[in-house]
Amino acid sequence: MNYATQMEAARKGIITKEMEAVAYKEQVSPDVLRELIGQGRVVIPANKNHTSLDPCGIGQGLKTKINVNLGVSKDCCDIEAELEKVRWAIKLQADAIMDLSCYGKTGEFRRRLVEISPAAIGTVPIYDAVGFYERELKNISAREFLGVVEKHARDGVDFMTIHAGVNREAVARLKKNPRLTNIVSRGGSLLFAWMAMNDQENPFYEFYDDLLDLCRHYDVTISLGDACRPGSLRDAVDALQIQELINMGELTRRAWERDVQVMIEGPGHMALNEIVTNMLLEKKLCHGAPFYVLGPLVTDIAPGYDHITSAIGGALAAAHGADFLCYVTPAEHLRLPTLDDMKEGIIASRIAAHAADIAKGVPGARKWDDEMSDARRRLDWTRMFELALDPEKARLYRSESMPENHDSCTMCGKMCAVRTMNKIMAGENPL
């Protein structure tokens, strides 16, 4: 193999087996895909050590992808329960799974996750640092943070959230421009605290070139984390968010110079009318790199329903440039999600992603809807269930309330508009 990363291969004119697989699934030309990867507008997160991977592409012209967060915490440290979530996430067609484990020795769960998952695996190494070194955050050295990154890379992680954009300049910006909710990113707050306690620069910013060496060696895609994302509508599109975005654009160019693939992470909480502008800003300031958004959540008042507030924002964001949606569950802001919460979050995100793909004209997206409409016209319930985003739930609802006439439902019965039109068009009496 005479290339280190997918980006280097693309720039050398090589179409890798991962590119071939993605091109086939996306119904795009392998040469077009290769060109987009070489430009940094598409990434294929594919660590050389993730042997069970079924590669997916994220970026311009491709289907909107969704990510599922899971992992163990001190209060909920059940590895088997989280692995069951992994199996369900794969069954429900999540494109990526992020292990956000933040308690104890997380390596066992991470390695088992990589072993069984055909989906791309992401992590946030700083979450693991305290448990990995069994030391207080303040006493971890700058270089030791890179040691955790290397461990995750060796374990086969395909992409990592690295909060390299929250440097001393950004910290100063926050102090001059107070926020309602400060920093709500877990990784961002840890780095902010470490920088304050040690009076040092962000280690991922200071030693960014060394980080790039590690990522290049294993072909890990950097997901530049938005440490300064808004955690409330009030804080959206403020000086701190824009400052970090400018920093991430500069870091993106530096990564591309080393043939390292990059994604950009984005907001967060944001009013509906600000989303389109933010998508344009990110793509402009970060040179067209794929954009990975959490939500955006379009209101702050719906705990228990944030999978809905997120899907509303996610659909609009993806329709105007976001490429990758991080799912949000009904448990957001409240607790570690249960298996049922995870299912709700995945379905909501997949609806948002598909709605955006229709708007973007992604190949094949509209065809699915046309097939469903045709099955409805024919009152072909079996085919409707086959095409449903969640066939299990659709079948359950139908079985719980069966109509007198099999070619209708209990909402309208014989007065079903579709049934009426079918019979009239066939010259029959509908009633």
Give pLDDT tens digits for 185-228: 999 999 999 999 999 999 999 999 999 999 999 999 999 999 99
Confidence of residue 1 (pLDDT cuts 50, 70, 90): low
Structure tokens given for 348: 């909501």
* Residue 219 near residue 212 (C-beta atoms within 8 A): no
Structure tokens given for 72: 């163990």
pLDDT of residue 102: 80
pLDDT higher than 80, residue 103? no
Q: Which residues contact 60 (CB under 8 A, 6 or more apart)?
A: 36, 41, 42, 288, 290, 323
Rounded to whole angstroms, the Cα distance separating 50 from 59 reads 21
52-61, 184-193, 206-215, 403-412: segment of lowest average pLDDT: 403-412
Rounded to whole angstroms, the Cα distance separating 63 from 58 reads 8
Measuring CA to CA, which residue among 183, 187, 164 is closest to residue 175? 183
Q: Across residues 278-304, what is the average pLDDT?
A: 97
Which segments within 209-329 are labelled E, that is strand? 221-224, 262-266, 291-294, 324-326
Which amino acids are annotated as binding site, given as ranges? 69, 98, 127, 163, 185-187, 226-229, 265, 269, 292, 333, 409, 412, 416
pLDDT higher than 70, residue 40? yes
Q: Quick one: how far is CA 166 from the chain centroid? A: 21
The CATH 3.20.20.540 domain(s) of the chain lie at 6-360
Strand partners, 269: 297
pLDDT higher than 70, residue 236? yes
pLDDT of residue 407: 84
pLDDT of residue 73: 78
Q: What's the pTM value of the predicted model, to 2 decimals?
A: 0.95
pLDDT of residue 330: 98
Rounded to whole angstroms, the Cα distance separating 416 from 424 reads 12
Which amino acids are annotated as binding site for [4Fe-4S] cluster, given as ranges? 409, 412, 416
pLDDT higher than 80, residue 171? yes
pLDDT higher than 80, residue 353? yes
* Residue 395 near residue 401 (C-beta atoms within 8 A): no
Which amino acids are annotated as binding site for substrate, given as ranges? 69, 98, 127, 163, 185-187, 226-229, 265, 292
The secondary structure of residue 415, as a DSSP letter, is G
Cis omega (within 30 of 0) on the bond before 430?
Answer: no
Q: Across residues 237-248, what is the average pLDDT?
A: 96
Measuring CA to CA, which residue among 208, 139, 202, 138 is closest to residue 172? 202
Rounded to whole angstroms, the Cα distance separating 377 from 430 reads 15
Enter the CATH code of domain 6-360. 3.20.20.540
103 against 353, higher pLDDT? 353
pLDDT of residue 107: 87
Q: Which residues contact 397 (CB under 8 A, 6 or more apart)?
A: none
pLDDT higher than 70, residue 149? yes
Measuring CA to CA, which residue among 239, 236, 243, 222 is closest to residue 296? 236
Residue with tokens 């569950």: 329
The three-class DSSP label of residue 42 is strand
The three-class DSSP label of residue 326 is strand
Q: Across residues 366-381, what is the average pLDDT?
A: 97
The three-class DSSP label of residue 58 is strand
pLDDT of residue 337: 93
pLDDT higher than 90, residue 87? yes
Which amino acids are annotated as binding site for Zn(2+), given as ranges? 269, 333
Confidence of residue 106 (pLDDT cuts 50, 70, 90): confident
Confidence of residue 104 (pLDDT cuts 50, 70, 90): low
Confidence of residue 34 (pLDDT cuts 50, 70, 90): very high
* Residue 342 near residue 85 (C-beta atoms within 8 A): yes
Residues in the chain: 431
